[in-house]
């Protein structure tokens, strides 16, 4: 149960195989980022932020559950039986996860966490709005529901980038440093492979490459208001078809999964 269907970046998978991979990617992004945000519980800079980070994480966890439930249903069509959301979340090894590398990176300080949220939230919102028009009714339904929550996430993270960037010398320096360090991980948010191409052609998936321009326009606008500089450099992790979406991860994912999956691994089949 720890494995997963690995689609080749070159060969075109069948429609259901591609859909399974694609939905798994969406769910894994949400679940892994939710786990990262859970690490802030009790450690937020102020009580309001402690609660807000927790709520964002819970939103993402709920969205991840919906995607993983659907992934299990698609897997059942492929193999005759499908894993549950819990089995997909807790009984896969790191190489079977399909999240982008950005969401698995350690939290760092509050500026780093908000920089990561800012980059991800705005790409996430564009993707969900596009997927709300998917030819797959289930994809469209989940995306439309999730977009309402992510709209708030995107507003909130942009507000924090502006607040810290246009704040003190210390807050500005920390936010700029975080934006610069995370920038090379943003390319994977807009990378495409054979899985995407099959589903875009069928009207099921969104063309991620087409989302980069509006995302970049928003990033540039917010950073200008925050008196921050757009990071330089064009080299990107995972943008060459060998990133987290294909199961190639940083060392940080293994540590995260060891904590997240401990209970289910130690006590298989445990139920609350």
For the chain, what are the domain ranges? 15-266
The pLDDT assigned to 11 comes to 52
- The reported pLDDT for the residue numbered 70 is 98
CB hemisphere CA count around 173 (13 angstroms): 3
Contact status, residue 20 vs residue 5, Cβ threshold 8 Å: yes
Total residues found in the chain within this entry: 272
- Which residues of the chain fall short of a pLDDT of 70? 1-12, 272
212-227: burial string, b at 16+ Cβ within 10 Å, e else: beebeebbeebbeebe
- pLDDT at res. 201: 97
What pLDDT does 1 receive? 35
**Cα(257)–Cα(237) distance, rounded to whole angstroms?**
21
Structure tokens at 143: 């995306």
- pLDDT (0 to 100) of residue 5: 44
Which pLDDT value is given to residue 3?
45
> In 3-state terms, what secondary structure has residue 141?
helix
CATH superfamily of 15-266: Ferritin, core subunit, four-helix bundle (1.20.1260.10)
Taking the CA of residue 66 as centre, how many other CA atoms within 13 Å lie in the half-sphere pointing to its CB?
Answer: 14
Q: Which two tokens stand for residue 222?
A: 């917010």
**Residue 28 and residue 226: Cα distance in Å, rounded?**
31
Q: Give me the pLDDT at residue 271, please.
A: 73
What is the pTM (predicted TM-score) of this model?
0.92
Half-sphere exposure of 212 (CA within 13 A, CB side): 10
- pLDDT (0 to 100) of residue 264: 87
Check residue 8 and give its pLDDT.
39
């Amino acid at each position: 149960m720890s494995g997963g269907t690995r689609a080749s970046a070159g060969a075109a998978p069948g429609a259901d195989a591609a859909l399974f991979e694609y939905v798994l990617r969406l769910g894994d992004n949400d679940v892994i980022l939710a786990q990262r945000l859970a690490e802030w519980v009790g450690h937020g800079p102020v009580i309001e932020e402690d609660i807000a980070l927790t709520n964002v994480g819970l939103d993402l966890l709920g969205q991840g559950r919906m995607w993983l439930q659907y992934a299990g249903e698609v897997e059942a069509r492929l193999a005759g039986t499908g894993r549950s959301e819990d089995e997909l979340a807790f009984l896969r090894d790191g190489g079977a996860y399909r999240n982008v590398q950005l969401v698995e990176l350690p939290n760092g300080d509050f500026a780093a966490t908000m920089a990561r949220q800012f980059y991800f939230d705005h790409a996430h919102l564009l993707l969900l709005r596009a997927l709300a028009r998917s030819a797959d009714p289930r994809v469209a339904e989940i995306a439309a529901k999730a977009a309402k929550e992510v709209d708030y996430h995107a507003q909130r993270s942009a507000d924090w980038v502006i607040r810290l960037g246009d704040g003190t010398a210390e807050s500005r320096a920390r936010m700029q440093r975080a934006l610069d360090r995370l920038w090379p991980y943003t390319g994977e948010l807009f990378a495409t492979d054979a899985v995407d191409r099959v589903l875009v052609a069928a009207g099921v998936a969104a063309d991620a490459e087409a989302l980069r321009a509006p995302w970049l326009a928003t990033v540039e606008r917010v950073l200008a208001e925050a008196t921050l500089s757009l990071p330089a450099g064009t080299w990107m992790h995972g943008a060459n078809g060998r990133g987290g979406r294909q199961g190639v991860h940083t060392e940080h994912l293994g540590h995260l999964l060891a904590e997240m999956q401990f209970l289910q691994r130690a006590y298989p089949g445990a139920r609350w």
